[in-house]
Structure 1
Amino acid sequence: MQQNQAKGRKFIRISTILILGFLLVFYFSLTYGEFSMTLTDVVRTLLRMDESDDNQLVIFTFRLPRIVIGILVGLGLGIAGAILQALTRNELADPGILGINAGAGASIVLYMYTISKLGMEAGFMATFAMPIFGLIGGIFTAIFIYSFSWTNGRLDSNRLLLVGIAAGSGLGALTLYLSLKMDPQDFEAATMWMTGTIWNADWQKIIAILPWFCLLLPIIFIRSANLDLFYLGEDSAKNVGLATEWEKSIWLFCSIGLISACVAVSGSIGFIGLLAPHMARRLIGLHHNYVLVISGLIGIVLVTLADFIAKTIFSPVELPVGVVIAIIGIPYFIYLLKRRTVR
């Protein structure tokens, strides 16, 4: 009982620190940039007390949608990464490394290519359909990867990693080929999107992916205790009477749904699903009712901070968010790989 209370207090303490960290990034993202604003200007604009057209445009058209997209993408990828690592019992598992990002991305680029060739306008319905196509591509990719990762009736984590990397490379090549077939304007947009960016965030994209979060997150958090059993081993889950295959299907659908929604608006941002869950487990332990929340919060901080760095460090030139996160993520991935090899 005392141990649970101590764990709960630690969870609240860590969550508070992460939320304060995000609020600090939120403040700088709203006030700092090519068009600098004071905190008073921001508050007055948010409360609709400032009638300045420039302030309204900067806050509500450019900066606030970008921050909201960053929150959703960081939250979704962080939680999806924690789910995949628990199911595979592999701390190197990540939506990007396993090729699920690439599968969702290839499907979305194929959809974008089809729209451009048919001469259709990318209106709200087209934007709303993008996560659905991402889900289809992600599910087929996951089925393909898992079908080649089973040996002797069990999921081989190392084989899963290798097959995922191979599938991701192949799908990445397909995505590049499709983008090269596009018109120059569409190609430029697709190339920026593939590197992982939220520079073109708008309220339309937020509305398009918000239903996915509202539908999937309650399912994830209600069933979070079952992830503890999977992390201990599939035999542990079977011993308590859990229908493991059905449960695994639910978790895969939820994680791929979140990934697809994120990829639809931000492109392929890698390493969030690797970094956030690993950091969360080191901070709070292995209980996934805590790990999922902390992973989501860390993901939010990482994406919003990376976006702030991307748009300010080389201003007026802007780096894709995916590049900034990769600069952090690649050394950390090598560290984890080396750590596993030493063991």
Structure 2
Amino acid sequence: MHNASKGRYAAVLAAGIGVILAAAYISLTNGSFDMTVLDIVRTLLRIDPQPEHDLVILEFRLPRIVIAVLVGIGLGIAGAVIQGITRNGLADPGILGINAGASAAMVIFLFFYQGQVKGTGWTAILTMPLFGLAGGLLAALLIYLFAWKDGRLEPQRLLLTGIAIGSGLGALTLFLTLKMNASDFEMAVVWNSGSIYNANWKYIASILPWLVCLIPVIVSKSAILDVFKLDEDIVIGIGVSSEKEKAMLILCSIGIVSACVSVSGGIGFIGLMAPHIAKRLVGHFHRYMIPVCGLVGAALVLVSDTIGKLLFAPAELPVGIVIAIIGVPYFIFLLSRKKSR
């Protein structure tokens, strides 16, 4: 990347951080209890703290912002990996069935815990990503079994199998949801639509280790993702252990997506939109694209959550629905462009 491009990359990173900070500012200062910047600064710096300010900022708004940013980063980067492996710009964790597997496992978790997730127990909250991981791995295993052909993982079979298995797991999720009592049913439906309204610091503690451990692995494999743009025979010919690298990258993506789903529910389209926006901004090299995917994903989730929280106040629209309103037309647009080529 030459100097002009590096300057563009730095400008894109700065702009992304600026959008996130602006959305965070709006989310912190606006709501049913409006606050000034001075109130926020005093609360965060512990200068004459007020109990009501502590409650609103530290218990409700700030954890929600942090969760939105972390989930956006995770889903955006996972989407870049999935698209890189499948060589398909229409692929994302939701289309591959990973979201559906993690969601089904989380509904089973909610079903057996009977709403205790709302409590303060660390065991339940820290177990949530593990349930999501188990569901995501099960979905991935089924997809692998059906997409494997002649000793290779066929990208097109991977997508079609993912859609089919995702639909089946979605039906299982709906069946389990209908078996819940009224209060748990309501919680499961809101959560499954993609919502972070119940965010807290324990949720952040449960998702953060997954992102800290797995994202650096993906970043270190950026050059491998670039190589996957080539024909499969060429990839093997230059000495890349193709299937081993694909398995490692898919496992990292499943871990990230499962952790995100465990705290935010089924938020779709971030993994689809973020890589496309990042490619337009900084090009196709994954070394530069992956960090931008994370920033774009964080901005999309945080801005969408802020819109859902403020635009329909005092009611709230789950962030997953707001993103779907944007994502469905974008998906159709990408599909029409692909057909026209």
After TM superposition, the score normalised by the length of structure 1 is 0.95
Aligned residue among 282, 288, 294 for 1:290: 288
Structure 1 runs (4+) greater than 6 angstroms displaced: 117-122
* Shift of residue 5, structure 1, vs aligned partner: 2.7
Q: Are 2:189 and 1:200 equivalent residues in the alignment?
A: no
1:37 corresponds to which residue? 35
Shift of 1:299: 0.2
Aligned to 1:63: 61
Q: 1:196 aligns to what SS in structure 2? A: coil
Which residue of structure 1 lines up, in the alignment, with residue 183 of structure 2? Answer: 185
Partner in structure 1 of residue 273 of structure 2: 275
Decide whether the 8 Å contact of 2:76 with 2:293 is kept in 1.
yes
Corresponding position of 1:337: 335
Deviations 1:302-336 (A, max 9, x none): 00000000111110111110000000000010011
Partners of 1:116 and 1:20 in 2: CA distance? 41
| Alpha-carbon spacing, 1:210–1:120, altered in 2? closer, same or farther (3 Å) | closer
Q: How many Å apart are 1:234 and its aligned residue?
A: 3.0
Q: Which residue among 114, 121, 135 is the counterpart of 2:133?
A: 135
Task: Measure, in 2, the Cα distance between the counterparts of 1:236 and 1:293.
Answer: 27
Deviations 1:61-94 (A, max 9, x none): 0000000000110000000000000000000001
The two structures, once aligned, show a CA RMSD in angstroms of 1.9
Distance, in Å, in 2 between the alignment partners of 1:40 and 1:239 is 61
Answer whether contact 2:308 2:316 (CA < 8 A) is retained: yes
CA contact (8 A) 2:103 2:135 kept: yes
Give yes or no for the alignment of 1:99 onto 2:97. Answer: yes
Q: Which residue matches 1:89?
A: 87
* Equivalent in the alignment of 1:75: 73
Q: Please say if residues 230 and 236 of structure 1, whose CA atoms lie closer than 8 Å, have aligned partners that are also in contact.
A: no
Tell me the distance in 2 between the aligned counterparts of 1:58 and 1:297: 26
SS of the aligned residue for 2:324 comes to helix
Moved more, 235-244 or 148-157: 148-157
Structure 2: which amino acid aligns with 1:327?
I
Question: For the residues of structure 2 that align with 1:316 and 1:117, how far apart are their CA atoms?
Answer: 24
SS of the equivalent of 2:180 reads: coil
Equivalent AA in structure 2 for residue 38 of structure 1: T
Q: Which structure 2 residue ranges, 5 or more long, are not aligned?
A: none
Q: Which residue in the other structure is 2:23 paired with?
A: 25
Deviation at 1:121, TM superposition (A): 6.7
State the Cα deviation string for residues 184-208 of structure 1 (Å, max 9, x = none).
1111111111000000000011111
Q: Tell me by how many angstroms 1:39 deviates.
A: 0.8
> Deviations for 1:224-245, whole angstroms, at most 9, x for unmatched residues?
2111011334334323211111
Taking only the aligned residue pairs, the percentage that are identical comes to 53
Q: Is the 8 A contact 1:115 1:121 kept in 2?
A: no
SS at match of 2:49: coil
d(CA) in 1 for partners of 2:10, 2:116: 52
Who is 2:297 aligned against? 299
Q: Which structure 1 segments of 5+ residues have no match? A: none
Partner Cα distance (2:116, 2:299) in 1: 39
Deviation of the 1:156 alpha carbon: 4.0
Name the CA shift for 1:341/1:121 in 2 (closer, same or farther; >3 Å).
same
CA contact (8 A) 1:115 1:122 kept: no
Alpha-carbon spacing, 1:118–1:196, altered in 2? closer, same or farther (3 Å):
closer
By how many angstroms is 1:138 displaced?
0.7
Amino acid across the alignment from 1:139: L
- TM-score w.r.t. structure 2 length? 0.95
Alignment of 1:136-155 (within 5 A): 136-151=134-149, 154-155=152-153
Q: Which residue of 2 aligns with 1:241?
A: 239
Q: Is the 8 A contact 1:103 1:141 kept in 2?
A: yes
Deviates more, 1:299-308 or 1:156-165: 156-165
Offset at residue 152 of structure 1 (A): 5.2
Cα distance, 1:263–1:203 mapped onto 2, change above 3 Å: same
Q: Equivalent residue for 2:208?
A: 210
What is the identity, as a one-letter code, of the residue corresponding to 1:172? G
Whether contact under 8 Å (1:104, 1:138) holds in the other structure is: yes
Post-superposition shift, 1:155?
4.1
What is the identity, as a one-letter code, of the residue corresponding to 1:39?
V
CA distance in 2, matches of 1:11, 1:120: 41
Match of 1:223 in 2: 221
More moved, 83-92 vs 133-142: 133-142
Amino acid at match of 1:278: H
User: CA 1:103–1:41 in structure 2 vs 1: closer, same or farther (change >3 Å)?
Assistant: same
Cα shift at 1:4: 2.9
**Alignment size in residue pairs:** 341
The Cα shift of 1:246 comes to 1.3
